[in-house]
Amino acid sequence: MFNYFQDLADRQLAGGTLTREEALAVLHSTDDQLLDVVAAAGRLRRAHFANTVKVNYLVNLKSGLCPEDCTYCSQRLGSAAQILKYTWLKPEEAVQQAATGIRAGASRVCLVASGKGPTDRDVDRVASMVEGLKDEHPQVEVCACLGILKDGQASKLKDAGVDAYNHNLNTSESNYADICTTHEYSDRVRTVEHAKDAGLSPCSGLIVGMGETDDELIDAVFALRELDSDSIPVNFLMPFEGTPLEGTWLLTPAHCLRILTMIRFACPATELRMAGGREMHLRSLQPLALQVANSLFLGDYLTSEGQEAKADLDMIADNGFVVLGAGPDSSTGSTDCTGSAVSSAVSPGSAASGTPQTNNDGGAPASAGQVTIRRRGAGTELAPNV
């Protein structure tokens, strides 16, 4: 019996290019068709990435105090969100934070700093961190995310050992002025192109759930396809209290899954990462999303807490996937800052660990109505969530 979505997967596997009409068909699929859509997209995921999941780990090098006015961001100019605010971590602190994620199974560390873009001194500072990290962990990939780059800065990062550069397009060009006025969509495109020209792997993705239309979402995805981004992180809006998008809850778990499948059909061989907000928006469909996405962030995000790292690793193993580049014991526990094994009975979000509890279900946000502010890891004296 003819199946539209399996036929669509056949065409993508044969080298086809997703059209706007086909993208809309995926986004508008019915609940009865949802498993068919996921199964078809899952064929593309397994053809290119088998049963592996790439684990990424974020280190927030400098939190808050940003002069930009991006409406979605808790670190924006004028934000009243009660997030951690601190200036640059010391190089040894950054390396220590990154190392905890690596020991927990991360093969890529993302070094992130708030702000419009780095000064040359900032680039030198990050270069020093990367050199120290690579000395201790030469196998790890390092992705920098420092904002809009000026001429020559991408090359300096490349020379220091940075492997990739992240700068998200976030939304479509037509929608960009509605979410930010202090820089332009073209600045973001130009930065991704600077990174590519310097030999850095381009990492650029989206934030969904900001009120964009389906056509605007497709425009953004097709722009990422045109940019030839090597990895696409998909963030699901976390509407922090104290930001202009506070109280914006427009996504359902099923629609989040349809968005991921549409991106997989559009970019079959591209690393697709379910990123910030997945816990509160995909919720119980996170394991099903792994049939489509082949990458995720482990543990916490820049200014918010995710579900416990062990829960992430268990989810990967329980669904028949393996952590890319990790040994057979990668899902059995986490590590503390010394590298010692931590019992799964005492995780960073439990009362016994000394870290404040966020709620009762292992660290994930309790409902779709709250964002849990990060109070552990970088910028604190508490152990990170790995």
What would the pLDDT profile of 94-120 be if each residue is shown by its tens digit?
Answer: 999 999 999 999 999 999 999 999 999
- 247-258 burial: b if 16+ Cβ within 10 Å, else e: ebeebebbbbbb
- Please compute, for residue 42, the number of CA atoms within 13 A of its CA located in the half-sphere on the CB side: 14
DSSP letter at 185? H
Question: Average pLDDT of 40-64?
Answer: 97
Domains of the chain: 16-353 (3.20.20.70)
- What does 270-339 look like in DSSP terms, one character per residue? SEEEE-TTHHHHTGGGHHHHTTT--EEE-S--SSB--S-HHHHHHHHHHTT-EETT--TTTTS-EE-TTS
Question: Average pLDDT of 214-222?
Answer: 98
Question: Average pLDDT of 227-238?
Answer: 97
Question: Average pLDDT of 66-87?
Answer: 92
128 C-beta neighbours (distance < 10 Å), count? 16
Answer whether residue 331 shows pLDDT above 60: no
For residue 101, the model assigns a pLDDT of: 95
Q: What is the pTM of this model?
A: 0.89
Answer whether residue 324 shows pLDDT above 70: yes
Q: Is residue 373 within 8 Å of residue 83, measured between CB atoms?
A: yes
Q: What does the pLDDT look like over 7-16, one tens digit per residue?
A: 999 999 999 9
DSSP letter at 210? S
* Mean pLDDT of the chain, nearest integer: 89
Of 49, 44, 41, 53, nearest to 261 (Cα)? 41
Distances (CA, A) of 154 to 43, 166, 172, 176, 183: 35, 11, 24, 24, 19
Nearest-angstrom CA–CA distance, 72 and 74: 7
Q: What does the pLDDT look like over 281-313, one tens digit per residue?
A: 999 999 999 999 999 999 999 999 999 999 999
